[in-house]
Structure 1
Amino acid sequence: MNGAEAFIQTLKLCGVEVCFANPGTSEMQLVAAIDQTPGMRAILGLFEGVVTGAADGYGRMADKPAVTLLHLGPGLGNGLANLHNARRAGSPVINMVGDHATYHLHYNAPLTSDAAGVARPMSDWVRVSQSERDLAQAGAEAFAVAQSYPGKIATVIVPADHAWTEGSAAVAPPTLPAPAQVPAEAIAQAAAALREVDGPKCLFLGGRALREDALVQAGRIAAATGARLVCETFATRHQRGAGRVAVEKLPYFGEMAEAYLADFKAIVFVGTEPPVSFFAYPGKPSFLSPPGAALVRMASLREDALGALTGLADTLGAPPEPALVQAPTRFPAEDGRLNSANLGAILAELLPENCIVSDESATSGGAAFAMCAGAAQHDWLQLTGGAIGQGLPLAVGAAVACPDRKVIALQADGSGMYTNQALWTMAREQLDVTTILLNNGSYAILNIELMRVGVQNPGPKALSMLDLKHPEINWAEISTGMGVPAVRVSTAEEFRAALADALAAKGPRLIEALL
């Protein structure tokens, strides 16, 4: 057995079942090993950002890692933006990155690079294989790291000669680490703040605290203390909808978030840290929590959120039934020209039970998020790291992880152009993804940000860098060319009919919504 075969078989023994791949010459032994391993699915992406984003979406929904296959340092570099998002999300991902044979590196061939150096900024753990026998051990270690609660990015650099050399063997799956538990003192401090501080209080939730079982415990705490439940602006995986515990969302813009939090006298953080402004602005604050408030960091992203919330609820003597359970809600959708409000209302009305929404809708999707709060139960995935180009690949990975669930990609036009190759993968794999492409012909968020940073009277050159209408991008034609059936709509009536048709069908569809 060569090193590549031992490596892939080790991952399969650990429970890894999917490889998202964009390989090159140095990875051919790994390609062959995947081919020879029953139960290891190979999914091709035409750009590395699709590969890494899909692994993120898979990890968020499967709670275990897929493995990516990337070509040398430059190929890994192409996938770094979505690895950044995955790392911020706490997603489990294993990267296997081919490299030149060890004896070839000193010749400085055109694709030679410091692959490990490229990996480190967006990985939690990097390992360069030392031999064909060491390669399998590196795979087992990578799996253990990736499965560290709630998930980490583990990258293995695979020299080509280690992959093709015979004399290796698969190794047994490792013992996985248990989630880190919150100290009793932290729970006691949080209980004291919620009991004793006068004035409004809140639980500020992120990470695994936004899963349904953890939200039930948060709702129990709200019932006992009157605390409001607030979540981070961009969530890894938020389980929501009618019948689940409802959570308010922190606004995106810093001054709005600061005002939103200003009246709280005590804030207990679970699964996340105190929020900061996404960017610095002249004369505006970076740290958003109110001065003088009691801030209790009860559980970080990497500590057991469910255990912490259960412990806090029990310490408070909370009732068994949660407060703040979301009632079913519907909003009227005005006929006529399509806009973010009637699009959101129609989406909420037609949202399938137990669907998954990959949301990279930027400025046009805020109404949809709010209106879907009382829709059928669903999982909502968001842009955790702020690096655009995540939405379509994330939908690919979610659909692979959950083939029996409808996936909806709510996608802005500008960020969609970063990874539109994901549509080809949807078509190739016949993934059950309905993409709602929000086409406003603009990087609209940057038009807002231009004013917010204090730029006065921007000229035509500045405005042209934020405009996508010259030439107009026809997403329906792009989608059709990638193999995904598509339709363009510009009215609420057309959108309703197109969405109903797409949701009734199996397989990929795209609706280009002209806003």
Structure 2
Amino acid sequence: MAFNGADALTRVLIDNGIDTCFSNPGTTEMHLVAALTRDAGIANHLCLFEGVATGAADGYARMTGRPAATLLHLGPGLANGLANLHNARKAATPVLNIVGEHAQAHIAHDAPLTADIEGLARPVSKAVATLRMTGEIAQATRSMLSEIQSGEKGVGTLIVPNDVAWADAVPGNLPPVEPPQPAAPDPVAIDAAAEALKAPGALLILGSPHITRRMQELVFAIATATGARLMGEAATARLSRGGGLPLLPRIPFQIDMALDALKDTSTAVLAGARAPVAFFAYPERPSELLPTDCRRVTLCPPQGAVEAALEALADRLGVSLGPLEAPELPALPEGTITPEALGAAVANALPEGAIVADESVTNGAALQPACAAAPAHDWINNRGGSIGYSLPLALGCAAACPDRPVFAIVGDGSASYTLQALWTMARAGMNVTVIVLSNRRYRILTNEMSKIGAGTPDENSDPLMSLDNPPIDWTDLARGFGVPGERAETAEALHTAILAALAAPGPHLIEAIM
């Protein structure tokens, strides 16, 4: 079989360590499908919806630090995946979208699926390119892989016309991309942060695409030595926690709670974090959450060498790392499944090395704090705010780390967006435990309606927030996708169901009645 443009693209992916592709292809991608599946160097996962493919690629990259690929069909296929690409962009996750396009001579005929693919891609992509000639494939693909892994990492979208993919090509031999290392810590910034943290009312805010255990050991010691308060960003792309680490407090999501938590801050030292802002605009509340007279000092920019900067800051302050006070596990829960009981049930079942994709929203207030006392694990939050991310993200994490148990903890409203991920989990036999928090309504809208000054739900507006007519049967839906499902109506039953799911191979779904 002749070597063609699709083969050339695949060769560059393999040479650069891109070993996983989440796909929902169509006619214009058939040569790419053949090339990607012909070589054993790339694992391919079929996804029933493009939003699953893009979210899975995000989860894979968060856990491995290197891009996964998606294979999508023309403009409408890319459009179906945009919400989770938005989340990946906000999390600074490197993802490579490969989007098929009509053969170039066919585009002028305005066939039904013709669309402005570049226009759709730009809002969520750091880099966008359309191939025009088969001979440019290798260099263009290599350049995009370099760009999305350099500086502010992000999403790349490579558009491949069908005739470019099927045309004969000459095998190339380009060297693999070597992502640059972050710049060394700035001594001036280290000195400024060291002095700022000694001020009364100082706050150290930690952020990073991956907040490591070492970072937390350092910031807890620095906060203890200086007397400064410590908080993490409201959402983290990946947080390694548990296993004896204290709870890293987060800036609250809710506007009034956040303003209250930050009101006495005189100086904010930003370690890989951005200055916090409100999720939405609210009447008579500010968009910026820090007080207007708060001094801001940048220790390290977002995506910089955060751990190295913290090491240098600890040295500058003469801080030594001592023993940390680990939190205690909550007691096993009893009775109805409240947010507190949910946290206790998960915390007491969470195994060593677990990965948690958290989309618990209104019912999850006690979840992350309770699990801080569990064995060492990774916690992933949604930095982009577009819901329907946790099931695909968990899929991607399981593909990246097949030896680790993965949890997706998600509200029933959010889970309804991308439940097709269950089918891919079942097909691959992934060890994912899905806990759907079933309160049968978009409760966050109920909470937000009055807060934003739009009144309270009434007989006219409440139907737009309710999911109980008809109620969604999550156990039947799970079984329809090949995933065992059960319903837990008490905290004891929930804890037992989690343990049973962990003891059996493959994915499981638990509907927790809240």
- TM-score of the superposition, structure 2-length normalised? 0.97
Within 2, Cα distance between the matches of 1:379 and 1:257? 24
Q: Give the alignment of 1:408-427 within 5 angstroms.
A: 408-427=407-426
Q: Which residue of 2 aligns with 1:351?
A: 350
Q: Which residue of 2 aligns with 1:278?
A: 279
Structure 1 residue 499: Cα displacement: 1.1
- 1:148 maps to 2:150: yes
Q: Give the alignment of 1:365-444 within 5 angstroms.
A: 365-444=364-443
The SS at the match of 2:450 is helix
The letter of the residue matching 2:347 is A
Task: Assess if the C-alpha contact under 8 Å between 1:282 and 1:453 holds in 2.
Answer: yes
Question: Alpha carbons of 1:326 and 1:75: their partners in 2 closer, same or farther (altered >3 Å)?
Answer: farther
Aligned match of 1:123 in 125, 128, 132?
A: 125
Within 1, Cα distance between the matches of 2:36 and 2:4? 13
Within 2, Cα distance between the matches of 1:309 and 1:245? 18
The SS at the match of 2:45 is strand
Task: Assess if the C-alpha contact under 8 Å between 2:203 and 2:230 holds in 1.
Answer: yes
Q: Which residue of 2 aligns with 1:77?
A: 79
The letter of the residue matching 2:135 is R
Structure 1 residue 244: Cα displacement: 2.4
Q: Give the alignment of 1:53-68 within 5 angstroms.
A: 53-68=55-70
The SS at the match of 2:72 is strand
Q: Which residue of 2 aligns with 1:110?
A: 112
Q: Which residue of 2 aligns with 1:236?
A: 237
The SS at the match of 1:178 is coil
Task: Assess if the C-alpha contact under 8 Å between 2:209 and 2:236 holds in 1.
Answer: no
Following superposition, which runs of at least 4 residues in structure 1 exceed 4 angstroms of deviation?
none
Task: Assess if the C-alpha contact under 8 Å between 2:486 and 2:510 holds in 1.
Answer: yes
The SS at the match of 2:303 is coil
CA shift digits 1:330-364 (9 cap, x unpaired): 21244222222112111111110110000011101
Within 2, Cα distance between the matches of 1:103 and 1:438? 50
Within 2, Cα distance between the matches of 1:418 and 1:455? 26
The letter of the residue matching 2:419 is N
Q: Which residue of 2 aligns with 1:227?
A: 228
Task: Assess if the C-alpha contact under 8 Å between 1:208 and 1:305 holds in 2.
Answer: no
Structure 1 residue 300: Cα displacement: 2.2
The letter of the residue matching 1:330 is L
Within 1, Cα distance between the matches of 2:466 and 2:322? 47
Within 2, Cα distance between the matches of 1:150 and 1:284? 30
Structure 1 residue 23: Cα displacement: 0.4
Within 1, Cα distance between the matches of 2:116 and 2:191? 47
Deviates more, 1:261-270 or 1:484-493: 261-270
Q: Which residue of 2 aligns with 1:314?
A: 315
Q: Give the alignment of 1:185-334 within 5 angstroms.
A: 185-195=188-198, 197=199, 199-208=200-209, 210-319=211-320, 321-322=321-322, 325-334=324-333
Within 1, Cα distance between the matches of 2:406 and 2:177? 33
CA shift digits 1:17-37 (9 cap, x unpaired): 000000010000100001112
Provide the identity percentage.
Answer: 44
Q: Give the alignment of 1:462-477 within 5 angstroms.
A: 462-477=461-476
**Structural RMSD (CA):** 1.5
- 1:10 maps to 2:9: no
Question: Alpha carbons of 1:179 and 1:337: their partners in 2 closer, same or farther (altered >3 Å)?
Answer: same
Structure 1 residue 262: Cα displacement: 1.2
Question: Alpha carbons of 1:396 and 1:149: their partners in 2 closer, same or farther (altered >3 Å)?
Answer: farther
Deviates more, 1:205-214 or 1:505-514: 205-214
Within 2, Cα distance between the matches of 1:419 and 1:441? 17
CA shift digits 1:197-255 (9 cap, x unpaired): 2x132210112462112222223322331222201111100111132253111111112
Structure 1 residue 103: Cα displacement: 1.2
Structure 1 residue 16: Cα displacement: 0.6
The SS at the match of 1:380 is strand
Structure 1 residue 497: Cα displacement: 1.5
Structure 1 residue 89: Cα displacement: 0.7
Structure 1: gaps (5+ residues):
none
Q: Which residue of 2 aligns with 1:500?
A: 499
Within 2, Cα distance between the matches of 1:436 and 1:209? 24
Task: Assess if the C-alpha contact under 8 Å between 1:338 and 1:491 holds in 2.
Answer: yes
The SS at the match of 1:107 is coil
Deviates more, 1:218-227 or 1:441-450: 218-227
Deviates more, 1:57-66 or 1:246-255: 246-255
The SS at the match of 1:35 is helix
Count of residues paired in the alignment? 511
The letter of the residue matching 1:224 is A
Question: Alpha carbons of 1:322 and 1:116: their partners in 2 closer, same or farther (altered >3 Å)?
Answer: farther
Deviates more, 1:36-45 or 1:216-225: 216-225
The SS at the match of 1:248 is coil
Structure 1 residue 322: Cα displacement: 4.9
Within 1, Cα distance between the matches of 2:218 and 2:316? 12
CA shift digits 1:377-411 (9 cap, x unpaired): 11000111000000100000000100110001111
Question: Alpha carbons of 1:85 and 1:158: their partners in 2 closer, same or farther (altered >3 Å)?
Answer: same
Q: Which residue of 2 aligns with 1:44?
A: 46
Question: Alpha carbons of 1:233 and 1:133: their partners in 2 closer, same or farther (altered >3 Å)?
Answer: same
The letter of the residue matching 2:107 is L
Deviates more, 1:453-462 or 1:477-486: 453-462
Structure 2: gaps (5+ residues):
none
The SS at the match of 1:460 is coil
CA shift digits 1:79-103 (9 cap, x unpaired): 0110010111111111111111111
Task: Assess if the C-alpha contact under 8 Å between 1:58 and 1:400 holds in 2.
Answer: yes
CA shift digits 1:120-159 (9 cap, x unpaired): 0000111111311111212111221232257321111111
Task: Assess if the C-alpha contact under 8 Å between 2:26 and 2:73 holds in 1.
Answer: yes
